[in-house]
Amino acid sequence: MPGSGKGYCFLSLTFSVDFCIVYNYIVIEGNIGAGKTSFATRFAEESDARLILEQFEENSFLPKFYEDPARYAFPLELSFLADRYQQLKTQFTTTDMFKPFTVADYFIFKSLIFASRNLEQLEFGLYSKLFTIVSSVVPKPDLIVYLYLNLDNLKKNIQKRGRPYEQNIQYEYLDKIQNGYLDFLRQQSDLRVVLIDTNGIDFVERDSDYQWMKDAILRNYPLGMHRIQKPGLLPGLY
């Protein structure tokens, strides 16, 4: 079960080497365009982990939200909360003996972070009550990995992947979401949070960057926030 504190050591058939996973439930998080899905997918596949990916493209409110945020923010956030809750509940009520730990590209509290930035005060008050009920039955991850990328690099990634409804996302919105994540994560003294500065890193195209990030994640961290940067790079602003 997630949060049990037990880890796993096993033989990776992909690399023919032994390695240990000290966490049962790892979340890869980040801002829009940070590359969380790309990293989570490769990491889970190589580690023989169960992979949970957010099904955001199935949300019909998302394109409408980017066109008219004031009108569609509340139904968007409610639909995302319902979808995330249902997916996580389904995944964690089933057991896969051959996939001893779980990797996801989102954390249920992502819903609260986005809602706090997108909703009006009265809407957020109602949303928070619903969120408290829903989140209480979803397991907390043993480790949250936040991929920190500056706004310029986020915009480059968004443009590169080419989703039409994302192309008009403004710097101000990305900055608002980034600050929402960082404000939330700094307050989580009861969770393990690893903030990796990925500016100057290309974990998709450069295998050495990916391996460095994987090694960093596999360390045994105490509770609290831990900032990690690859040696030789200029520090990011966080």
Domain residue spans of the chain: 23-229
Fold of 23-229: Rossmann fold (3.40.50)
What six digits make up the tokens of 49? Answer: 């982990």
- Tell me the pLDDT band of 18, cut-offs 50, 70 and 90: low
The one-letter amino acid at 131: F
Q: In what order do the strands lie in the sheet with 50-52?
A: 50-52, 102-104, 25-30, 143-148, 192-197, 224-229
For residue 34, the 8-state DSSP code is S
What is residue 29's three-state secondary structure?
strand
**C-alpha angle with apex 218: 217 to 224, nearest 5 degrees?**
60
pLDDT tens digit string along 212-236? 999 999 999 999 999 999 987 765 5
Residue 8 has a pLDDT of 56
- Catalytic member of 48, 68, 105, 215: 105
What is residue 197's three-state secondary structure?
strand
What is residue 225's three-state secondary structure?
strand
For residue 234, the 8-state DSSP code is P
Residue 17 has a pLDDT of 46
Q: What is the DSSP string of 100-143?
A: -SEEES--TTHHHHHHHHHS-HHHHHHHHHHHHHHHTTSPPPSE
pTM: 0.89
Residue 171 has a pLDDT of 96
Distance CA 217, CA 193 (A): 10
Residue 19 has a pLDDT of 57
- Tell me the pLDDT band of 14, cut-offs 50, 70 and 90: very low
pLDDT tens digit string along 112-125? 999 999 999 999 99
CA within 13 Å, CB half, 215: 8
Stretch 20-38: mean pLDDT, rounded?
A: 93
pLDDT tens digit string along 32-86? 999 999 999 999 999 889 999 998 877 899 999 999 999 999 999 999 999 999 9
Residue 12 has a pLDDT of 47
- Tell me the pLDDT band of 98, cut-offs 50, 70 and 90: confident
Q: Is 48 a catalytic residue?
A: no
Distance CA 180, CA 183 (A): 5
Q: Give the residue, 99 or 200, on which the prediction is more confident.
A: 200
